[in-house]
Structure 1
Amino acid sequence: MRALARKGRSAVGRLYRGYTRRKTRNAPPPSTERVRILLLHAYGMGGTIRTVFNLAGYLADEHDVEIVSILKEAEEPFFPIDPRVRFRFLDDRINPGADPVRAMLSKLPSRLIPKEESAYHRFNLWTDLRLARFIRSMDTGVLMATRPGLNLAIAQLALPGVITVGQEHVALRTQPEPVQELIKWRYRRLDALVTLTKADLRDYRETLPKKPRRLTRIPNAVPPMTGDVAKLDAKVAVAVGRMTRIKGFHRLIAAWETVAAAHPDWKLRIFGAGPQEENLAQQIAEAGLEGKVELPGPTTDVGAELERSSIYVLSSRHEGFPMTILEAMGKGLAIVSFNSPHGPKEMITHEVDGLLVKPRTNANLAESIIRVIEDERLRRDLGTRALETAGTYDVDVVGEQWDALLADLLARRERKRAPAAEDVTPPCP
C-alpha cells in the first residue's frame, strides 16, 4: 500500500513538473509592467498594511499595481490608498456565499502555511486553494509577498517566468525555529529578498546557506500625513499600535505612573485596538490614571494626532521597522524608544534625534520621558533633528531604490533568457 502511495505521489510530481515546463515554454517574456502584492488582510490596521499601500501608490506611477489580499474582513480599507491601485480578495469572509466546497475546506487546517507562522490560524485549506490558484495563474510580471508564510508560498509555487520578491517586515531572529528552517532552504528560489534593516540583512546573509538572486535592504518610506509639523507645546505624549503584549503598552502605563506623579498636567494617549485593550483599561483604572492615560481607539488620521502631541513613546519588546517612529519623526516629535537592534537602533541616533532606553525597564522609560518633559530645549532639538532624519526616508528617495531593484531583476531575467552568443549558429552565406 505504501509503495502504491509512493508511486502515486511520484506520478503527481511528474505531472506537476510537466505542467510547469509547458507553462514556462509558452510564457511571455519577463516583465515588470504588472506588480502584484500579497497581503494577509488589506483592509485591516497595521504598519505592514500602511507601508504596502505607500509602496503600491509609488509604483503605480510606472506599473499596473494590484494588491491581492488573502482575507476580506471589512467593507472599506482602514488606510487611504491611491485610487490607481486595485484590490483582489481571495477569501471574502464578510459575504462568503453558500459554496459547499468553500464551507467544507474552510473547516480544514492549512497545509500550505507552516503551523508555527504567527498568522497560521487565519489560513485554512480554502485559502490554500485560492492562494495556490492565484500564484499559478501568473506567468509573468512581479509577485511580491509580505510575510514569511506568503514568501514561502511564492517561492514554492510561482512559475519560472514570474519575478518573485519577498519582503520581511519582522526580524529573522524572532521567527520560530521551524519557520527559520524552511526559510533557509526555500528562500533561495526567490529573485529577491528585501529586509527593512541592516541588522536583519546581516542575519540573513549569515543564516541562509544559499541566497536569493538579490538580498538587499530597502527601508520603509514615510507615508503622506495630514496637517503640519507639531509645535511641541502640547502636554501630550502619544503611542500608536495594535494592542498586543509585544507592543509593551502595559509597561508604558506602568512607567506613566511615575511620570504622572512628577507631572500630573501631562497626558498619555495610546491609539489602537486589539486583544489587550480591556486589560490595559483595567490597568489604568487600578493605577488611578483615569484622565491621565487615555485609550481613544484606532485613528485613521495619525498625522493629526501626532501634530497635537509633543512626545512619541515606543515601548515594544522588539520591532522590525516601526512605521510609527517614522511618522512621529515626520511630524517633528521628540522620540523616546526602547532600544532594539532591528529597528529603533538603526532609525534613532541616541541624544540626536531621539532617546534610546537601555536597559529596557519601566523605570528607565519613565526617567527618559520625564527628562524630555522637563528639558524643553532637548525636546525641541530632538524634534528638529527627527524631522531632518525623516527626510532621508521620503517616499521618492525610497521609491528610487525599488525602481533600481526591479530594473536589475528584469535585466537579470532578460540576460538569462537571451541565447548565449556562442550558441547561436550564424546563417549560411
Structure 2
Amino acid sequence: MKIRYMLLHAYGMGGTIRTVVNQANAMACLGHEVEIVSVVRRRDAPQFEIDPRVTLRTLADQRDRVPEDSFGRRAWRRLRGRIVPHGEFAAGYFTEGVERAVMDHVSSLRDGVLVTTRPALNLISARRGHRSVVRVAQEHLSLDAYSDGVRHDIARHYGALDAVAVLTRTNMREFRRLFPRGPVVRIPNAVHAGHARPSRQENPVVVAAGRLVAQKGFDLLIPAFARVARRHPEWRLRVFGTGPKKAALGALIEEHGVGGSVELMGRSTRLQDELADASIYALSSRFEGLPMVMIEAMTHALPVVAFDCPTGPADVLTDGTDGLLVPPGDVDGLAAALDRLIGDRDLRCRMGAAAAETAGDYAPEVVMPMWENLFEELLAGRPPGGW
C-alpha cells in the first residue's frame, strides 16, 4: 500500500518526529511504498536515520531564511480566514506560503493513505483532503494540552477524517467525549528496545530527558532533587536535552546550591547507554502524550518516578509495581518518591524488572501490526476495529 506521513519538520528533533520516522521505516521494511512529507526544512540533513526505501519530500525549504510574521500574513488571515488555529503550538510556522503549500499538496492527492501528525496538519487534511484518500490523524498530546480554539476546531472538523489515532486509553476517552461520531482508535508509539542493556543498579544516578521547556517540569524536578541530595549527597541528577529554558534551569541549580549534584547534559548521541548506566528515571512533566523516553528507560529495567500528569504515565505505569506515581506538581511528593527508591536497592531491582516487562507491550512487533491492520481496514472501506 502507499502511505504518506506528513510532519511539520522531518529534519528536526523531538519525540513525534522520531516516532513517525520509526513508523515510516517499519512500514518500508514491510514492503509498503512510503513517503515522508516535511512541511518545512530548516536543516541540511535529518536528525534521525531514514530508511533509504522511504522517499523524503519538502514543501517549503527554509534553510536560507526563516520567514518572520508580517502585516501581509496577518492581513491574509483576516481576509481569507485560517485553517491553522492561533492556539496551535506550531501556528507560527504557518505563514501564508506554508499554509498554502500544505493545502495544495493535500488537495492534490487521490490515492493511498495520508497520515498527518499534529492538529494543524490534521485540520488541513480534514478540510482540504480528497475523499479518495484514506486520511488518518495522529494525536500525540492530551486534549487538555490544547487551547479552547484548537479543541473547538477538532470537534468541528475531525469528523471528515477516516480515523483519529491516539496514544493512550485516557486519550481515547477524551476524544470520544469531544468527538462522539468519529472513529477514534488507540495505537501507542512503538519503542525500539533492541538488545537493551539492563541497569545493574550500581551507579547513584537519576536520569531525566526532554526538551528544556516548561512542559517537561525540570523546574520542579531540580528543587525536588535538591531535597534528596541533602540526604544522599553521593547521588547525581543528569538532565539530557536542549531548549530555551537552559539558562533559567542553570540559575535554579545555583539557587538551590546543587551545582555539584545536578548536571544539564545537553543533547546526547548515547542516551541509551546513559539510561543503562543509571538507576532511576524521573519524569516531571506537566503534561504528556505518551512519554517515549520513559518507556525506553523501562526497557533498561529502570524504575520510574513520575508525576501523574495528563496523560501518559498512569496509562503505562502501575503505581508501586514498575514505578511510583506522584500527584501532578507535588514537589515534596516527588522528592519523597525519589528518596524511597534511592534508599532501597532491592525495591529498585524489583520495580526495574517489572518495568522491563511492561515495556514489552510497546515493542514494534506488537505495535506495527496495529497500524497495518488499521490501514488495510480503512482502504477496504471498513470501520477500524475497536470502534
**Shorter-chain TM-score: what band?**
over 0.9
CA distance in 2 between partners of 1:216 and 1:106 (Å): 41
SS at match of 1:391: helix
Asked if 1 retains the 8 angstrom alpha-carbon contact of 2:3 and 2:32, the reply is yes
Identity of aligned residues (%): 41
Q: Contact between 1:336 and 1:354, CA under 8 Å: does it hold in 2?
A: yes
> Is the 1:335–1:355 contact (alpha carbons within 8 Å) kept by the matching residues of 2?
yes
- 1:121 is matched by which residue type in structure 2? G
Change beyond 3 A, Cα 1:391–1:227: closer
Determine if the alignment matches structure 1 residue 138 to structure 2 residue 103.
no
* Deviating 4+ runs (over 4 angstroms): 102-107, 224-227
Asked if residue 108 in structure 1 is aligned to residue 76 in structure 2, the reply is no
Equivalenced residue count is 376
Correspondences of 1:297-336 after superposition (within 5 Å):
297-336=266-305
- Letter of the structure 2 residue corresponding to residue 93 of structure 1: Q
Equivalent runs, 1:212-231 vs 2, <5 Å: 214-224=183-193, 228-231=197-200
Q: Compared with structure 1, are the counterparts of its residues 378 and 240 closer, same or farther at alpha carbon in structure 2 (3 Å cutoff)?
A: same
Does the CA contact (< 8 Å) of 2:282 and 2:305 recur in 1?
Answer: yes
Judge which range, 375-384 or 73-82, deviates more.
Answer: 73-82
Aligned to 2:127: 156
Unaligned runs of 5+ in 1: 1-32, 415-429
Trace 1:214-253 onto structure 2 (pairs within 5 A).
Answer: 214-224=183-193, 228-253=197-222
CA offsets, 1:323-367, max 9 Å, x none? 111111111111110112521001000111111112531111011
What whole-Å deviation, never above 9, does each CA across 1:409-429 have from its counterpart, x for those lacking one? 011179xxxxxxxxxxxxxxx
Q: 1:72-124 CA deviation, whole Å, 9 max, x = no partner? A: 12222222333322211112111359xxxx99999624633111111111210
Q: What are the equivalent positions in structure 2 for 1:5-404 lying under 5 Å apart?
A: 33-60=1-28, 61-95=30-64, 108-109=73-74, 111-211=82-182, 214-224=183-193, 228-358=197-327, 360-404=329-373
Cα offsets for 1:184-224 (capped at 9, x unmatched): 1210110111010111111111222531xx32101111135
Distance in 2 (CA, whole Å) between partners of 1:88 and 1:67 is 6
Largest Rg, 1 or 2:
1
Q: Find the aligned partners of 1:380 and 1:137 in 2 and give their Cα distance.
A: 54
Are the counterparts in 2 of residues 226 and 303 from structure 1 also a CA contact under 8 Å? Answer: no
Question: Alpha-carbon deviations, 1:387-413, whole Å to 9, x = none?
Answer: 001111110100011111111101117
Mapped to 2, the partners of 1:41 and 1:333 lie a distance apart of 31
Distance in 2 separating the partners of 1:268 and 1:150: 37
Contact 2:286 2:310 in 1 (8 A): no
Single out whichever of 353-362 and 148-157 deviates more from structure 2: 353-362
Find the residue that maps to 1:205 and give its secondary structure: helix
Distance 1:226 1:126 in 2: 45
Q: Is the 8 A contact 1:172 1:180 kept in 2?
A: yes
Contact 1:225 1:303 in 2 (8 A): no
Asked if structure 2 preserves the Cα contact closer than 8 Å seen for 1:185 and 1:210, the reply is: no
**In structure 1, the residue corresponding to 2:84 is in which secondary structure?**
coil
SS in 2 for 1:108: helix
Letter in 2 for 1:377: D
Contact 1:114/1:120 (CA < 8 Å) preserved in 2?
yes
SS in 2 for 1:170: coil
Moved more, 339-348 or 266-275: 339-348
Cα RMSD (Å) of the superposition?
A: 2.0
